[in-house]
Amino acid sequence: MAATGASVDQFRSFYASYMAAVARQPAWPRGYAFQTRLEGAFEAVPREMFLPPGPWHIEASGGYVETPNADVRFVYQDVLVAIDKQRGINNGQPSVHAQFLGLLEPRPGETVVHIGAGTGYYSAILSMLVAPGGRVATFELNEDLALSARRNLQTLDNVSITIGDATLLELPEADVIYVNAGVVRPPVHWLQTLRPGGRMFVPWRPAADIAIALIISRTVRGFRVNPAMPAWFIPCVGASTSSPGDIAPDIKRAWASRALYLKAERQPDATATAIYGELWFSSEWPS
């Protein structure tokens, strides 16, 4: 690292530019305004503040490699950094999160619910994306991680941290829900929490060999589903096991899902790709 001659600030600036570039979506209605805000957020939030002291363990091919020293320039690269390597808890790969954020496009004034906040790094970035006027309500089940997040985020007055199980707790009404743990199916009350026009990112893990990033949007006709890309996350406690009577999809049907319905509003039909206790997925767009 020392041989590069580039400063920490230069590394962070390039890192932020790279994240903004990979997040870009061709259909952004406001041009590049979100890309600019995202770049500013990644540059402003010091990643090392949300990590254990260096040297760090960086994930590589299912294992970890330890950095030679605690030079912070190591963490301003597109790598997963271990927070608790024994349990496989990481500060996730920045470019992947940047793409998810690009699909959600959190806007100033919106309310975000962040489930599985870890030590708060992406909560901090979300807080900048919804400023001014917006807020971020974070939920973290692991008490140690939640207390770290509370310390790390204490200077941000638009962020709250709740220690507890978001699959059981009441959530505030939200424009965006950002879930950082894999679920067999999204809990119904998460869906009901979304405001009209709201968007949710959730890692869908309906089977051991299926891991899909779903972008779920609430429309007047139901919940629109976009299977965006593969997304491997640790299981979400309380939402990662199947129930008797569930009909899980195979990988082809999972990727073919385009809508989600509550059974109370519409019963499963021939388009169903997966069926669970109170909800089901369909291969046809909401109608």
Q: Is the pLDDT of residue 4 over 80?
A: no
Higher pLDDT, 235 or 196: 196
Most confident range (mean pLDDT) of 6-10, 78-82, 231-235 is 78-82
pLDDT for 46 equals 96
State pLDDT tens for residues 31-70: 578 889 999 999 999 999 999 999 999 988 778 999 999 9
Task: Name the phi and psi angles at 166, rounded to 5.
Answer: -70, -15
CA 96 to CA 229: how far, in whole Å? Answer: 10
**DSSP 3-state assignment of 41?**
helix
Residue 172 banded pLDDT, cuts 50, 70, 90: very high
**pLDDT for res 29:** 56
The pLDDT-based confidence of 211 (bands split at 50, 70, 90) is very high
Alpha carbon 283 to its chain's center: 24
The whole-number pLDDT of residue 232 equals 86
Q: What percent of the chain has pLDDT over 90?
A: 81
pLDDT for 32: 74
Question: Residue 26: its pLDDT value, please?
Answer: 67
Percent of the chain whose predicted confidence (pLDDT) is above 70? 96
- In what side-by-side order are the strands of the sheet with 63-66? 63-66, 57-60, 81-84, 89-91
Cβ neighbours around 80 below 10 Å, total:
17
Encode pLDDT of 91-145 as tens digits: 999 999 999 999 999 999 999 999 999 999 999 999 999 999 999 999 999 999 9
Q: Which of 227, 226, 273 is nearest to 246 (CA)?
A: 273
Give 234's pLDDT tier (boundaries 50, 70, 90): confident
